[in-house]
Amino acid sequence: MKRQLILLSDMEGASGIFESNRGAVYHGSELWREVGRQCLTSDILAVCEAATECGIDEILLYDGHFAGDAEFNVILEQLPSNVRTFDTPNREFDWRRIRGQAESDPFGLITVGQHARSGEPWAYFPHTIQTPPIKAVLVNNMHIAEIGQMALSFCGTKYIANIGCNASHKEAKEISQNVACITVKNKKEGWEPSPLETYQIIKREVVEAIQTIDQKDVISISEPFDFSMELVEGYYFASPTVFPWKGNFNETVATWVSPSIEIGLELFNYVRNFIKKKS
């Protein structure tokens, strides 16, 4: 049986990217090309090396930073031959299509390059998918950002590790208490190592996490799936007169109920179309 690892990446939480070189996360910028892509690729390569040593047959990667643009943040030609990427138009957040391309029972899931949610203290570039205008997205009262939408789309899969800034681990732990938390930078303690320094840390701790997978929990959330979106100050919902789901709008909060996480996240994209900026 093929052992398939799901690897879901973002960029703000990658090694080597700090406030001092924040332009490295600006997709398409010169610093992104010269620094940011190399930083994220280093972290991903460390995961790949560890996974291969542990007998993983295939790594299926979703590069989620700046979704909606076709250009990848990871340098694909540097990845090993057992890595393939999810096929979505312009790397869009199409979670039903993404989940459908993976094995029905993957070996496990790892998130890498992850940042914290909007409002988290001591975080590098915290935001919830797009802040502003979004202050929070909740599913069954759980505040989810990129980590949450990625992981919850793979319910039933063991969450092996989260790799990113120290502040990102809070969200990961709320999804799965026993996930291994691998820190590559810590703003509170002023620890800002280079990708060269974190490479062996990531590799060593991913190997340990994979070897102790029996101690990891599967990702799960109870039905029904109640979603809500809250906006930051200065934005409002221009609510429609008719909308095709069970839910509601007020000026700064929208709610909806979904039969699945993936459909709920598709409705998230529908709801955000009604966000307007106050004049």
d(CA 18, CA 252): 32
Q: Tokens 């972290």 appear where? A: 43
The predicted-structure confidence for 243-274, as pLDDT tens digits, reads as follows 878 889 999 999 999 999 999 999 998 999 99
The predicted-structure confidence for 25-46, as pLDDT tens digits, reads as follows 999 999 999 999 999 999 999 9
Q: Which region, left, alpha or beta, applies to residue 137 given φ > 0 means left and ψ of -120 to 50 means alpha?
A: beta
Q: Please, which pLDDT band fits residue 242 given cuts at 50, 70 and 90?
A: confident
Tell me the pairing of strands 253-258 and 247-249.
Answer: antiparallel
Q: Quick check: 241 pLDDT over 90?
A: no
Selection from 121, 201, 123 nearest residue 161 by Cα: 201
The predicted-structure confidence for 121-154, as pLDDT tens digits, reads as follows 999 999 999 999 999 999 999 999 999 999 999 9
Tell me the pairing of strands 180-185 and 159-165.
Answer: parallel
Average pLDDT over residues 202-213: 98
Domains identified in the chain and CATH numbers:
4-118+145-215 (3.40.50.10780)
